[in-house]
Structure formats: structure tokens, C-alpha cells
Chain A
Amino acid sequence: EAQVTQNPRYLITVTGKKLTVTCSQNMNHEYMSWYRQDPGLGLRQIYYSMNVEVTDKGDVPEGYKVSRKEKRNFPLILESPSPNQTSLYFCASSSGIYNEQFFGPGTRLTVL
């Protein structure tokens, strides 16, 4: 089954404790992206990647890192999480700029 998977689905952590949210897709898509969803703000793009080793900032990249060492994986790294990063995070992949994005199930992160 074609899908985007994220892990973990739920995470509660404390300020400053480094964490990684994994994202993997099995559709051989070149394009991948991370979003955060906050009430009243919709989805905001954090980072995107157009291919292996090619990443670029979205609208809200501060406090986040990404890497794209393999085509299927696009982990999101929070080196020193802060409470304002408490949010619902979505990973997405696409076969092209003009094509639909396929979204993962989301990761609900709480930073205390």
C-alpha cells in the first residue's frame, strides 16, 4: 500500500531534549515536505526537499533541521525543543511540484 509513515505518532518531551520525528514514503517520490498545523494558522511549511541531499527552508524553519540522505526518508530534527514547538506535525511527499502531496498521519508533539 502506497503511504507516508511517521513515527512517533504522539510525543511528550521536555524543553531542550533533542528529538527526531521520522518520515518515510514508499512511493519513490522525489519531493518531500514537513508542515506544522496550529489552530487558526493552517499548515505552515517548515522545510522541503526536492531530491536526495537537496533541502530548502519553508516559511517557519527556525528551530528545526532536516536531512535527506535517502530518497524514502526525510527526518525532522528538533535540536533543542521549546514549548512554542508544541504542535501537530505532518510529513508529505509528491512526485512533482504540480502533483498532489500525500500526507502522513501526523505526529502530535508536546514540549513541556
Chain B
Amino acid sequence: AQSVSQHNHHVILSEAASLELGCNYSYGGTVNLFWYVQYPGQHLQLLLKYFSGDPLVKGIKGFEAEFIKSKFSFNLRKPSVQWSDTAEYFCAVNADTGGFKTIFGAGTRLFVKA
């Protein structure tokens, strides 16, 4: 069965620190990869996505992620976090099997200290 692992459940950083959130998935075939963010009191919204092509994808608000197929990973990065990045971050995988089955990771709560 497919699964998605997010290594850190809680991360606390100071403003201007660099961020990397890990995401690994288990599925041997073609996958579509997503990072979603949930700001306090708001809906989940898409940060970035990868389907094919350049494995380094850029999203909104300065976030980027790198797909490393050999490591089954899709880690999220930001060079310098801001207080407003405090949120919960979810990695999600949709396997290219023709259906709409989507597996989410457990999420990482990021708190950025001002």
C-alpha cells in the first residue's frame, strides 16, 4: 500500500532560519507530488506540485521542493522563514494509476518565532 512519511511532526525556528521539511513516499510507479499548507484558521491551499520535468519546483511565498526519484523523496525548502510561515504543512502523493486516490502525510507543524 502507498504511504507518505513526514519526518518532523513539530518544528520550531527563528525568523530568517532556513527550513527543510522531509517527505518520503512508498510507491514504485509514477507519482504526482504536492505540498499543501494550512495556516491557522484557514483552508488547506496548494504550495507547489510536481508532475514531470525539472525535479526542482518552485511554489508560492518563496517555497521550493526537490523530487529525488531514487530516494522517493520530495522535501520542501525555504531559505529564510518568516513569522507568517507558521502553519501546518502536508505532503501528498497521487499515484498515476488512473484514479483519484490521494495519500497525505501526517503533517508538520511549523512555528516561527519572531
- Chain A: residues with CB nearer than 8 A to chain B? 31, 33, 35, 40-45, 48-50, 56, 58-59, 90, 92, 94, 97-98, 100-101, 103-106
Contact = CB atoms under 8 A, between A and B. Distances in A.
**Which of the listed residues B34, B99, B102 has the most CB atoms from chain A within 10 Å of its own CB?**
B102
Given A40-B9, A98-B51, A103-B44, A33 B100 contact: yes
Given A35-B104, A42-B107, A50 B43 contact: no
Given A59-B103, A101-B36, 19 more contacts: A31-B100, A40-B106, A41-B106, A42-B4, A42-B104, A42-B107, A43-B44, A43-B92, A45-B101, A45-B103, A45-B104, A48-B102, A50-B100, A56-B99, A92-B44, A94-B100, A97-B32, A98-B94, A103-B45
B102 A33 contact: yes
B86 to A, nearest CB: 18
Contacts of A40: 9, 106
B111 interface: no
Contacts, number: 63
Nearest to A38: B106
Interface string B85-107: 00000101010101111111111
B9 A105 contact: no
**Which of the listed residues B43, B44, B90, B105 has the most CB atoms from chain A within 10 Å of its own CB?**
B44
B32 A100 contact: no
Contacts of B105: 42
Contact of A90 (B32, B44, B100): B44
Contact of B100 (A48, A59, A100): A48
B46 interface: yes
Given A40-B9, A90-B44, A101 B106 contact: no
B47 to A, nearest CB: 10
B45 A43 contact: no
B4 to A, nearest CB: 8
Contacts of A31: 100
